[in-house]
Structure 1
Amino acid sequence: MTHQHDDAPGSATPPRPADWIPTPITADLVLGALDLERTEHGVLPHRLPARARAQCADGQLAMAEAQPSGVRLVFRTRATAVELDTLPTKTLYLGAPPRPDGQYDLLVDGRPAGRASAPGGNVLAVDMSTGSAETRPGPVGTVRFAGLPDRMKDVEIWLPYNEITQLVALRTDAPVEPAPDRGRKVWLHHGSSISHGSNAESPSTTWPALAASLGGVELINLGLGGSALLDPFTARALRDTPADLISVKIGVNLVNTDVMRLRAFTPAVHGFLDTVREGHPTTPLLVASPILCPIHEDTPGPSVADFSNFSEGKILFQAAGDPAERAAGKLTLNVIRDELSRIVKQRAAEDPNLHYLDGRHLYGEADSAELPLPDQLHPDAATHRRIGERFAELAFRSGGPFAARPA
């Protein structure tokens, strides 16, 4: 069973089965993952290493890190047709309309060349009223791209940012080899669901993917939906991952989960940065505070969901805290921005490669008026594009913290 999106390359006559060349899916063909787990079906990309996964039993984190945001298959080939068998796990919220299938983006020599989705797959059925979930097994699906140019080229297949994706088999009508190293810098980024890609159009159009493309760098995206909580195991993953540029976007999850007070926040930020610096003592390191989120600017969390329009697939988030609770150390986005700015300024006196970015420069008051957050928490596709363009301009431009340094 195959599925091809309308804007995929032309549907040339598919090769006969005997003409397909299978290629094992190995680590040298997969970029953006920190670990590949062998499963009964194939390989499952993870964005946190096994040791980190073993230190937290939270189901939200387990789902987020196994959703392959920023993970892509990359190879060089003359093939004009490519098939990828995958076993996705798609999330179904009981009582709401089914969500669209996750998207696979095809890039040829760095340029968008098609988009498709995989049919079938497992279904994770979530009951939002009770918090319970069950997985219903489903079949392997096939993503197919045809009509590719008949020449040697670099091919990238970006995996859905919102579907756990087991890679089962790769087939082409010409041999495949690992893509040559393009000599690009590696940008390692950590953040919340906004960095993960929530509500972006597709995997190569999340804001970090767009910023990486504009900045000419290779992305490793550790945006973890609901899970940017200054966890020590995440800091160690950043510490141990080779990278030329690092950014950490800190704040919104700490507010909307209401897991921490200011007394714990400040040393936790210092400890997180200390751990990253153990592995990357002089790497440019950018600390970014939250983008504007009106419900939590001055009102603490937790965030709670309004399910009154859930049957139409609409959820609105609200802030359940009381602004008066700031006096007791509860966190708001403005409290976090002020403290992050102070921490970075303090540390930068001895760490000239440490930088701060106020997230409202990526999405602020004027942007909120023009492009309000549809659910009051997450940006839409147009806003992802704006944030990606702004980040690239602020971070990678001449004089920016990620700008190329003179040799």
Structure 2
Amino acid sequence: MNDIDLGKLRVNRDGKAAPKASGKFRLQRRHLLIGAGVLLLLYMLVPSAASVQTTQVVTAWPSQQYLLLNSTGYVVARRKAAVASKGTGRVEWLGVSEGDTVKEGTVVARLESRDVEATYHAAVANTAVAAAALTTAQNELEDAQRNLERFNVLFRKKLVSLLNMQDAKSRHARAVASQASAKAALDAAKANEEYARSGVEYTQIRAPFDGVVISRSANVGDIVTPLSSAADAKGAVVVMADMSTLEVDAEVSESSLASIKVGQPCEIVLDAFPDRRYRGEVSVVVPAVNRSSATVTTKVRILDADASILPDMSARVGFLSRAVDVANQKPVLAANPEAIAGEGADSRVYVVDGEGRVRAVPVKAGVQLGGVREIQGELKTGETLVLNPGKLRDGKRVKLAAAK
């Protein structure tokens, strides 16, 4: 290391000291310290927004407290028929369409009937011929009977020979046989006439019961045949359903079968009308298990069906432990029980408003309805409530966390 020449070092006796901070700078620094203190004080005095879990006010039904089991199914008509003709023919008239209500015996369609009507008229004529033949045979029998009686008298007086007497008896016997034959022929002719008449009747397709036409399978000009064996032939003209026999076919798990019995009350909800509830009752538990799905078909009768229910609608069935009367089938407001603070007359919930503050609303807590509890108060469906409010105060600002 090079040696330092200390002799060259000098102290500057004329230099001035570094200037001190000016008064303006000291004032700015004082203001900054005061501002930071005020901010710190405000932070300590003003509470921060609390992070809370939330839930919502929902609509519930009183029957949920009696719910044992839920199932799904479809609305079906116990009485349903594909209306067709026993005979074969071409449709010449169709008098109904989908949705029409018809009475039992009403003609819904007619087939061409000229050929069967001709057969019927021929059968009627044959019946008349057979009836005339029977009348002739009866007259012949009466004449032979009178002749035989006369010959009996004459034979006893020995005025006629034995040969003449035998001829009279033979004639009477032939007349008896002829009458029997004519009577049998008349019976056969009447049977043929009835058969021909039924053939004409088969061309008149009638409603088998009171119901509603739910589909139409044929149109005017289509060939209708009982077995639909002909090319493009129709087996049925219309399909009818008796709407008074509507029920729900619900599939119940085999493991839950012990909870189901005939006569058990049910509640039915249709996907088409989710805000309505229909009373039901188990009418039949089909004694067979579906192997592939391990379910049993349960038929539920709809006790208060109306015109809006249609076959093949999707339905949900709730099997209940007890029946629910009509008065208790109205919806009520409900919420998660953890959203209710206090007890008795002091029960309340905290509603979160649009500005992130809570508002205490007094409520009257009711029965437990499944996973929620009935509440009564100035609330409406969809409002947001605070879960586990604890010592939350009215008007406090909150920060919403994920809803439960």
Q: TM-score range by the shorter chain?
A: under 0.3
| Richer in strand (by share) | 2
Query: Computing the radius of gyration over CA atoms, which structure comes out larger, 1 or 2?
Result: 2
Higher relative contact order (CA 8 A, sep 6+): 2
The TM-score with structure 2 as length reference comes to 0.23
| TM-score, normalised with respect to structure 1 | 0.22
